[in-house]
Amino acid sequence: MRTRLLPLVALAAASALVLAGCTSGGGTATDDASATPVRGGTLTYATGDAEPTCLDPHVGGNYPQALVASQYLEELVSKDSHGDIIPWLATSWKQSDDGLSWTFTLKKGVKFTDGTPFDAAAVVANMNAVQDPKTLSSTGYLALGKVKKTVAVDTDTVRFELSQPDSDLLDSLTQPWLAIESPTALKRPMATNCVSPVGTGPFEVTKWVKQSAITMVRNPHYTSPVQDAAHTGEAYLSKIVWRFIPDSASRYAALQSGDVQVTDNAQPDELVAAAKGQTIKAIDAPRPGASDRIELNSSQAPFDDERVRQAFITGVDVNAGIKTLFFGTAKRSYSLLSSVEQDSYSDKALFTVNTAKAEKLLDAAGWSQKNSQGYRVKDGKQLTVRFPVSTNQSIPAERALFEQIQEQAKKLGFDVEISQLDLSSWYTALAKHQYELVDAPYTKVGPGVLDILYDSSGITPAPSGYFANNAQVDIPSLDATLRKAGQESDPSTRQDLYDQAQKTILEGYYVLPLYDQQNHFLYRTTVHGLRAFPSVSTPSLYDVWLSK
């Protein structure tokens, strides 16, 4: 199935909205950083992400859950804006010499909103819950892969015992999927905990009307702000209404009209319109982990031939498309990792467009003949590459970019078959290896995401058919490097190892990096103190206050 029209229509609609946005007038608002915060008020946040099926991010573990859980749950550690680990519910930590255990000292006097004290036993209960198959955890479960057990040493000390050293453990513990919940609340049936999770955060969940909104109110006994928060004590806002507005145009219209004050999943055209007006501002908070990239399936023809991979990657120019379709709101990436990752390694030179050389590479690889439609053929087979696209994980601008790549690749003689699929069908296409190109998001804090995405063990599908190594990179020396890096506790040695690994993958032309995973928030200028947590770039409403 080839689809060209839909993205164009979407793009036309988006452009129309840009024009509409430009002509609509804005009110006035002041954004004075030195102003005194105002207490009270209700903030309406409109999310364009999916509505979580469970508000406890231990269950499952996806981004929509992380977004909202960041308001009522807290983690043992966090990251500051430099990417360094900072204390949160844990005040200090120490790794044993053999790397096989980590001991955390916990903040004292913290209580969950149901009155249960936060202590070592609570941490143990949480880690046990995540590791219990009955909890149906996926992201959190994977992150604790090397954790054998968690032990309460005393009330304020907890020890993680590992099966092998894990240089990624602290990074993992900054993620909302491993946030700490009230052990009392966790004992309730899953269905109950899913609608009313209990944490130590600045807000607590009071109501969830499905398909509509989650209501959260201020936690009056709040004492545990993260180290880099702007203030201490209770949150300024008295209430948050967390609305689900899936349609991006309606979300933006609601922001313009003032019905909501903050939105996520902002589209490129809206960012441009917002930049021109006075009432709406934007925060660019790229997600950590892997960059948004197209991976080439190296396990089967034609991309099992490195020359064909190189021809594809250096034969298509994606920069022009990114510039026009994203209106300058997305910066081209030449790295496997998000630009917010400290260990991100990039090599722009590898991606210099050279169509003449690409043509030669294809000729050399035996794809020298062209058929009547202009596609290359070899042994009677057309140079066709399948590109399943998950419509649930891709915005219209990105799908239009894929169409442009399709057009450019056609000039080289590639027949790129794009099929737009819902999430479940997309997973199935991947599991059945019915793809040569794929763009799959992966959000995880730290360079350890490389172990998940490019270690050859990631080729073996899970029982579900899902496997993370979509490029099907299978290089024993790379596996060894990644495993060494995963156990290395010296930061600079670790970085060298990860650089080496990234170099190997990029130079093998397995991946065409596009840009950071797009994560933009829009907010009205009456909103002050909004920021995104540096860990997984979810919004923090703790320091937020509203001016009139």
Partner 1 sequence: MRAAARFVGVRLAGAVVVLWAVATLIFFAIRLVPGDPAQAILGGPGSDASKASLDLVRREYGLDKPLVVQYAVQLGRLATGDLGTSYSLKQSVASVLAAQVPPTLELAALSLIVAWLLAAGLAWWSSRSGRVAGAVGNALEVIASAVPHFLLASILIVVFSTQLNLLPPVSTGTAAGLVLPVVTLAIPVAGFLGQVTRDSLLDASAAPFALSARARGESANGVFARHLLRHAALPGLALSGWAFGSLLSGAVVVESVFARPGLGRTLLAAVTVRDVPLVTGVALVSALAYVVVVVLGDVAERALDPRGRAA
Per CB under 8 A, does 110 bind partner 1?
no
Q: Which is nearer to partner 1, 334 or 467 (CB)?
A: 467
Parallel, antiparallel or unpaired: strands 384-390 and 415-421: parallel
| Torsion of the alpha carbons at 219, 225, 230 and 231, rounded to the nearest 10 | 60
Under a CB-based contact definition with an 8 Å cutoff, are residues 168 and 446 in contact?
Answer: yes
| Residue 30 φ/ψ region, left for φ over 0, alpha for ψ in the -120 to 50 degree band, beta for the rest | beta
Under a CB-based contact definition with an 8 Å cutoff, are residues 234 and 228 in contact?
Answer: no
Per CB under 8 A, does 456 bind partner 1?
no
Token pair for residue 7? 């993205």
Q: Would you give the DSSP letter of residue 170?
A: H
Tell me if residue 103 falls in helix, strand or coil.
Answer: strand
219-258 residues near partner 1, rule: CB under 8 A: 243-247, 249-251, 253-254, 256-257
The contact pattern for partner 1, residues 131-150, with x = CB under 8 A and - = no contact, is: --xxxxxxx-xx--------
Per CB under 8 A, does 12 bind partner 1?
no
Helix ranges (H only) for 326-395 are: 355-364
Q: Which is nearer to partner 1, 21 or 513 (CB)?
A: 21
Size of the residue set binding partner 1 (CB under 8 A): 70
Per CB under 8 A, does 271 bind partner 1?
no
Greatest Cα-to-Cα distance within the chain, rounded to the nearest angstrom: 76
* CA distance linking residue 497 with residue 296, whole number of Å: 23
Q: Which of 3, 26, 37, 51 binds partner 1 (CB under 8 A)?
A: 51
Per CB under 8 A, does 407 bind partner 1?
no
Per CB under 8 A, does 300 bind partner 1?
no
Per CB under 8 A, does 46 bind partner 1?
yes
* CA distance linking residue 68 with residue 49, whole number of Å: 10
Q: Which stretch binds partner 1 (CB under 8 A): 59-67, 344-352, 355-363, 373-381?
A: 59-67
Tell me if residue 310 falls in helix, strand or coil.
Answer: helix
In degrees, rounded to 5, the angle at the alpha carbon of residue 106 between the alpha carbons of residues 103 and 112 is 135
Q: Which is nearer to partner 1, 177 or 367 (CB)?
A: 177
177-216 residues near partner 1, rule: CB under 8 A: 190-191, 194, 209-212
Q: Which of 6, 26, 29, 62 binds partner 1 (CB under 8 A)?
A: 62
Per CB under 8 A, does 259 bind partner 1?
yes
For residue 190, give Cα distances in angstroms to 129, 178, 252, 477.
11, 17, 35, 44
Point out which residues bind partner 1 (CB under 8 A). Answer: 13, 16-17, 20-21, 23-24, 46, 50-51, 53-54, 60-64, 133-139, 141-142, 190-191, 194, 209-212, 243-247, 249-251, 253-254, 256-257, 259-260, 390, 392-393, 422-425, 427-429, 431-432, 441-444, 462-468
